[in-house]
Chain A
Amino acid sequence: MDLFFYSLAIQLSALIAVALLRSNRAASAAVHLLLLAGLVSGFVSTLSALIFPADQPLSFNIYGVPPDLFRFDALGLYFLAIVQLVAIPTTIYSYSSLKHYIDKGKSVKQLLAVYPILLVATQLTVVSNHSILFLVCWELMSTAAYLGMVFEKEKKDVQTGSFYYLVMNHVVVFILYVFFFLLHRHSGSWLFSDFHVSPDTGSLFILLYVLALIAFGMKAGFMPFHFWLPRAHPIAPAVFSSFLSGIIIKTGIYGILRTFQFLNPTPEWLGWVVLAGSMISAIFGVWYALAQHDIKRLLAYHSVENIGIIGIGIGIGFIGSAYQSLPVQVLGFGGALLHTLNHAIFKSLLFIGSGVIYQNLGTRNIELMGGLARRGRFFAILFLVGSVAISGIPPLNGFISEFIIFNGFFTTARELKNYYPLLMLISTVGLAFVGGLAVACFTKINSIMFLGDERKEIKHFHVSVYDYLSLGIFALLCAAIGFYPQPFVRVINDVLNRAFIPGNSSSALLNINWFYISLIFLAILAGFILIYIWKRGMNKKYGRKILPAWGCGYERLNPRMQYTASSFADQLNTIAKTVLGYHKKIKPPAEIFPAKNKFESHADDFVDSKIILPWFKKINTFISRIELLNYSDIRYYVAFILIIISIYSLIGFLWI
């Protein structure tokens, strides 16, 4: 794996380019070229190690790096491949998006310096084998993302949103310190490869799981801890929100899967807890999304939903582990792993798409958009591909991973008997319900943003070649996994065999009739093309005309009379208004000639406004009450931090 480290070196050399080149434009070009070169070479090496593990030495020989500092096991390699694969198109888009800032005369040196660090730190996080190194990379990754997020720091919502992200990171890292310290105490080593705690340890085992699920779950954005996602995603520059949603929250999933490697077999109740929590995340994540008008905030809630779906897979895997049932584990974890890849792909596509729209229209409010499909037809198609994929509709990749999870439900019921058929039937209905809500949500944003007439006049709509290239790669990946899932499923099965479920001989994942499914999908595509050609022929024969829409005889329809996103989703939101905190402000017209009127609808996140925020406030009042020394100068606080750290280190030295 030497090539991996050389590729990192190429990526890091981008920092030198930032330092040396004075012109923003030249620096941007150099940085992105170097990053691309590094990422592509890294991806090739990761892919070959993943596919041909026998031919590739998974060890490395770099001067000065101890051999057990990094470990290239199958799980790490799989996540490394996801990071590099998704980072390549994201980097292509990054070039074109930075050009917009440069054209406006804004210096982008900050983003240029932070982005390579973010990439390198994320790649190192998923392959580090030493706890301290893992924590350092983890912290570096989080901080780099934070620095990218505050790029437009003069805006008020950027300041508050990024602060939530920062607080979340601190809490996560604090819990992780305790987690790894306990693991170290138990095993006497700092290396991941040495960690193993059996359930016989009782309370330690449970404590470790609780810590890991809270810390990694918070990073991933599971439901009660999702508060930072809808705040941090909308404010970050498009590249960073895409990376945040596509990759960084997946490191939380990586963490949970690693924890499972250290601590197995899991008790049965834990599987239930994860399954129930994930189901709640999935259902309410998508329902909250339905109530949003801000495209990036909406997509952030969709990340909560998809993390929930991944979590459902993990929950099934945990239940399988409790019963030592291989097929259940394979299908549960397999579905989770594939959905992790799928979500990274289509969520990046959608975030980059929304970034392109924001650059052109200068707004994230979907109520002000409309008619984009006729401005950028190809762009609309690419965005539609992402939307169909994320709704889990055949024939794209979202369906494949959800299908594996559905199969996991059926297999669990078959293998474990008892009360499981009942529980799995409820899970099936739950996941189908999520699918229905996702369809409602993505038809909403596609139709309001792209279809109909322009609600606000669009002066120009330009999508650059780089944008198309980046979106096109993602859309192709969506189609590839959808139409030809065999190779991807085989790799995942291999990952599970090699690193995850030792001694796995179950071929439950490969036994699904993938060839048949590919065939049906191709039939759908071919049938569609045939019917479409026939329809065009009929159009030619009997004529096709473009006329204004029917307005009941009223001639002067205007774009403001179109259906809005709020009215589209109103009925569904009203049904769940307590949980969504959905409320409308409207004054019914009173006189015969009503004056100008106003209508507002809001959705405050219930979990957020009723649970998380009051809790934050309580902590705040508590701390201000015990505050002994109140100085307005920041230097005093820095001094305090230094003193506290010295005391900690002293205790540490004396104890060890």
Chain B
Amino acid sequence: MDLNTLAQGIFALLTILVLAPLFAGVINKQKAIFTGRIGAPVVQPYYELKRLLRKETINASSSSFISDIAPAVNLIAMVVAAAMLPVGFMKPLISFEGDIILFAYVLGLARFFQILAAMDIGSSFEGMGASREATFAVFAEPIFFFTIGSVAFADNLTSIYDIYHSIRLDNVTYIVFIVVCSISVLILAVTECSRMPIDDPNTHLELTMIHEVMILDNSGVDLFLYQYSSYVKLCIYAIVEASLFYPFAVQNSYVAVIIFMVVIAVLATTLAVVETVTARFKLKFVPQYLLFATAIGVLNLLIYTFTK
């Protein structure tokens, strides 16, 4: 790895880490506008993170060492996952044959400790959230492999960077492929990042939430780490989605950046519109919804089979 790629990788990672809260802020702002409010400024998430940093930490009386270490594990897992993603034309910091597997499993590491930390409180609220998180994650995992994985198997590439680079537009089936993939990755992003219609990031009704209820009893720097990790996670899935549209700009790296920005912006608007017009699903319909996304993934397979 030469110095140039290294610098690019570090720059890409820093871009994600710095801009992640902004992405959430943009979604919130648009949501506010759609519902006829003025809304908080787009940099509001930064203010909230800053406020959290200066608060006292409170841990539940039944909590153990898990509550202590889980926020740190969560963040480092997200950072490592973010380091594997290409931003625009930049080569990611971590890139090797088979990193697609590591990407999925590092997110699994974050989930493992998030669930444990929730159960560590010993309250039923957190228990409900943890149970839902574990259940939905089981059905979300196949979606990732059916979409990004099917592109990987199409060209026998196992590195995320190479996979995204292999998407070509000289073949009309690839366009269909991208459309199908982008739908199921959107559903995946919505599930994994606990947005509507799976989860409502705004309510404070503990019985209806997933991610928010898992961190209900956290405060101070712990909550800072959790919130920041969830912003990074949202950004990660946005990039997983946006990179699918990368091929439009293979010739020119500056165009790539512009397209990347446009796709991210469109994605933010999509999320905001979805959150404005839909209500949360009943929890028992969520697995069906995810299986629907998996079924779309199977569609990928069929496309693949017929084009080969």
Stretch touching chain B among A255-263, A267-275, A512-520? A512-520
Asked whether A543 is an interface residue with its Cβ less than 8 Å from the other chain, the reply is: yes
Stretch touching chain A among B16-24, B65-73, B183-191, B255-263? B65-73
Asked whether B35 is an interface residue with its Cβ less than 8 Å from the other chain, the reply is: no
Known contacts A393-B109, A528-B72, A531-B76; A451 and B66 CB within 8 A of each other: yes
Q: Which residue of A lies closest to B110 (CB)?
A: A393
Known contacts A373-B64, A535-B71, A568-B134; A443 and B116 CB within 8 A of each other: yes
Asked whether A410 is an interface residue with its Cβ less than 8 Å from the other chain, the reply is: yes
Question: Which B residues lie within 8 Å of A562 (CB)?
Answer: 122-124, 127
The answer, among B61, B73, B128, B145, for a CB contact under 8 Å with A549, is B61
Stretch touching chain A among B37-45, B147-155, B245-253? B147-155
Asked whether A115 is an interface residue with its Cβ less than 8 Å from the other chain, the reply is: no
Asked whether A544 is an interface residue with its Cβ less than 8 Å from the other chain, the reply is: yes
Asked whether B59 is an interface residue with its Cβ less than 8 Å from the other chain, the reply is: yes
Q: Shortest CB–CB separation between residue A453 and chain B, in angstroms?
A: 5
Q: Which residue of A lies closest to B220 (CB)?
A: A542
Q: Are B98 and A373 in contact (CB under 8 A)?
A: no
Asked whether A237 is an interface residue with its Cβ less than 8 Å from the other chain, the reply is: no
Q: Are A570 and B131 in contact (CB under 8 A)?
A: yes
Report B124-182 residues with CB < 8 Å from chain A CB. Answer: 124-128, 130-132, 134-135, 137-142, 144-146, 149-150, 152-154, 156, 158
Q: Which of B96, B126, B138 has the most CB of A within 10 A?
A: B138
Stretch touching chain B among A68-76, A133-141, A418-426, A602-610? A418-426
Asked whether B79 is an interface residue with its Cβ less than 8 Å from the other chain, the reply is: yes
A564 CA to B56 CA, complexed, in Å: 31
Q: Which residue of B lies closest to A443 (CB)?
A: B115
Q: Are B145 and A535 in contact (CB under 8 A)?
A: no
Q: Which residue of A lies closest to B71 (CB)?
A: A535
Asked whether A557 is an interface residue with its Cβ less than 8 Å from the other chain, the reply is: yes
Q: Shortest CB–CB separation between residue A498 and chain B, in angstroms?
A: 26
Question: Which A residues lie within 8 Å of B126 (CB)?
Answer: 563
A391 CA to B141 CA, complexed, in Å: 14
Asked whether A205 is an interface residue with its Cβ less than 8 Å from the other chain, the reply is: no
- Interface size class, chain A: 35 or more
Known contacts A410-B156, A550-B217; A432 and B141 CB within 8 A of each other: yes
Interface string of A410-441 (1 = CB under 8 A from B): 10011000000110111011001101110110
Q: Are B137 and A447 in contact (CB under 8 A)?
A: no
Stretch touching chain B among A27-35, A182-190, A241-249, A399-407? A399-407
Question: Which B residues lie within 8 Å of A374 (CB)?
Answer: 64
Q: Shortest CB–CB separation between residue A23 and chain B, in angstroms?
A: 41
The answer, among A443, A444, A532, A548, for a CB contact under 8 Å with B61, is A548
Question: Which A residues lie within 8 Å of B125 (CB)?
Answer: 550
Asked whether B105 is an interface residue with its Cβ less than 8 Å from the other chain, the reply is: yes
Interface string of B58-95 (1 = CB under 8 A from A): 11111111101101110111011000000000000010
Asked whether B201 is an interface residue with its Cβ less than 8 Å from the other chain, the reply is: no
Known contacts A531-B75, A544-B57, A545-B59; A436 and B141 CB within 8 A of each other: yes
Asked whether B221 is an interface residue with its Cβ less than 8 Å from the other chain, the reply is: yes
Q: Shortest CB–CB separation between residue B227 and chain A, in angstroms?
A: 14
Q: Which residue of B lies closest to A287 (CB)?
A: B138
Q: Which residue of B lies closest to A519 (CB)?
A: B94
Asked whether A527 is an interface residue with its Cβ less than 8 Å from the other chain, the reply is: yes
Q: Which of A402, A453, A520, A523 has the most CB of B within 10 A?
A: A520
Question: Which A residues lie within 8 Å of B59 (CB)?
Answer: 544-547
Asked whether A538 is an interface residue with its Cβ less than 8 Å from the other chain, the reply is: yes
Q: Shortest CB–CB separation between residue A439 and chain B, in angstroms?
A: 6
Q: Are B116 and A524 in contact (CB under 8 A)?
A: no
Q: Are B64 and A377 in contact (CB under 8 A)?
A: yes
A34 CA to B61 CA, complexed, in Å: 47
Known contacts A424-B153, A432-B141; A406 and B101 CB within 8 A of each other: yes
Q: Are B119 and A447 in contact (CB under 8 A)?
A: yes
Q: Shortest CB–CB separation between residue A287 and chain B, in angstroms?
A: 10
Asked whether A388 is an interface residue with its Cβ less than 8 Å from the other chain, the reply is: yes
Question: Which A residues lie within 8 Å of B11 (CB)?
Answer: none
Report B202-231 residues with CB < 8 Å from chain A CB. Answer: 206, 216-217, 220-222, 225
Known contacts A403-B98, A520-B80, A572-B134; A422 and B301 CB within 8 A of each other: yes
Q: Are B80 and A563 in contact (CB under 8 A)?
A: no
Asked whether A561 is an interface residue with its Cβ less than 8 Å from the other chain, the reply is: yes
A421 CA to B57 CA, complexed, in Å: 50
Q: Are B135 and A531 in contact (CB under 8 A)?
A: no
Q: Are B122 and A559 in contact (CB under 8 A)?
A: yes
Q: Are A428 and B128 in contact (CB under 8 A)?
A: no
Q: Shortest CB–CB separation between residue A338 and chain B, in angstroms?
A: 15
Q: Shortest CB–CB separation between residue B99 and chain A, in angstroms?
A: 9
Q: Shortest CB–CB separation between residue A316 and chain B, in angstroms?
A: 15
Asked whether B274 is an interface residue with its Cβ less than 8 Å from the other chain, the reply is: no
Asked whether B305 is an interface residue with its Cβ less than 8 Å from the other chain, the reply is: yes
Q: Are B56 and A544 in contact (CB under 8 A)?
A: yes
Q: Shortest CB–CB separation between residue B278 and chain A, in angstroms?
A: 22
Q: Are A429 and B146 in contact (CB under 8 A)?
A: yes
Interface string of A370-414 (1 = CB under 8 A from B): 110110010011000000100111100001001100110010011
Q: Are A437 and B138 in contact (CB under 8 A)?
A: yes
A251 CA to B57 CA, complexed, in Å: 52
The answer, among A421, A513, A548, for a CB contact under 8 Å with B304, is A421
A567 CA to B304 CA, complexed, in Å: 40
Asked whether A571 is an interface residue with its Cβ less than 8 Å from the other chain, the reply is: yes
Q: Are B153 and A543 in contact (CB under 8 A)?
A: no
Q: Shortest CB–CB separation between residue B298 and chain A, in angstroms?
A: 9
Q: Which of A381, A388, A410, A516 has the most CB of B within 10 A?
A: A410
Q: Are A549 and B149 in contact (CB under 8 A)?
A: no
Q: Shortest CB–CB separation between residue A81 and chain B, in angstroms?
A: 27
A543 CA to B58 CA, complexed, in Å: 8
Question: Which B residues lie within 8 Å of A557 (CB)?
Answer: 123
Asked whether B282 is an interface residue with its Cβ less than 8 Å from the other chain, the reply is: no
Known contacts A394-B106, A524-B77; A549 and B131 CB within 8 A of each other: no
Q: Shortest CB–CB separation between residue B276 and chain A, in angstroms?
A: 28
Asked whether B102 is an interface residue with its Cβ less than 8 Å from the other chain, the reply is: yes
Q: Are B124 and A561 in contact (CB under 8 A)?
A: yes
Asked whether A551 is an interface residue with its Cβ less than 8 Å from the other chain, the reply is: yes
Q: Which residue of A lies closest to B297 (CB)?
A: A429
Q: Are B138 and A436 in contact (CB under 8 A)?
A: yes
Asked whether A41 is an interface residue with its Cβ less than 8 Å from the other chain, the reply is: no
A557 CA to B71 CA, complexed, in Å: 25
Q: Are B65 and A377 in contact (CB under 8 A)?
A: yes
Question: Which B residues lie within 8 Å of A435 (CB)?
Answer: 105, 108, 141
A451 CA to B54 CA, complexed, in Å: 28
Q: Are A425 and B301 in contact (CB under 8 A)?
A: yes
Q: Are B156 and A453 in contact (CB under 8 A)?
A: no
A281 CA to B62 CA, complexed, in Å: 38
The answer, among A399, A447, A542, for a CB contact under 8 Å with B57, is A542
A569 CA to B141 CA, complexed, in Å: 18
Asked whether A446 is an interface residue with its Cβ less than 8 Å from the other chain, the reply is: yes
Q: Shortest CB–CB separation between residue B115 and chain A, in angstroms?
A: 4
Asked whether B55 is an interface residue with its Cβ less than 8 Å from the other chain, the reply is: yes
Q: Are A563 and B127 in contact (CB under 8 A)?
A: yes
Q: Which residue of A lies closest to B225 (CB)?
A: A535
Q: Are A451 and B141 in contact (CB under 8 A)?
A: no
Which residues of chain B have a CB within 8 Å of any CB of chain A? 53-66, 68-69, 71-73, 75-77, 79-80, 94, 96-98, 101-102, 104-106, 108-109, 111-112, 115-116, 119-128, 130-132, 134-135, 137-142, 144-146, 149-150, 152-154, 156, 158, 206, 216-217, 220-222, 225, 283, 287, 301, 304-305, 308
Besides A439-B138, A545-B58, 6 other A-B contacts (C-beta < 8 A): A414-B156, A447-B130, A451-B64, A451-B116, A546-B60, A572-B135
- A-B residue pairs in contact (CB < 8 Å), sample of 28: A380-B64, A380-B65, A393-B105, A413-B156, A421-B304, A428-B149, A435-B108, A436-B108, A439-B108, A440-B134, A440-B137, A443-B119, A443-B134, A447-B130, A451-B62, A512-B98, A524-B77, A524-B106, A531-B225, A532-B68, A538-B53, A539-B221, A542-B53, A562-B122, A562-B124, A568-B127, A568-B134, A571-B132
Q: Which 4 A-B pairs have the closest CB atoms?
A: A563-B127, A447-B119, A452-B122, A373-B64
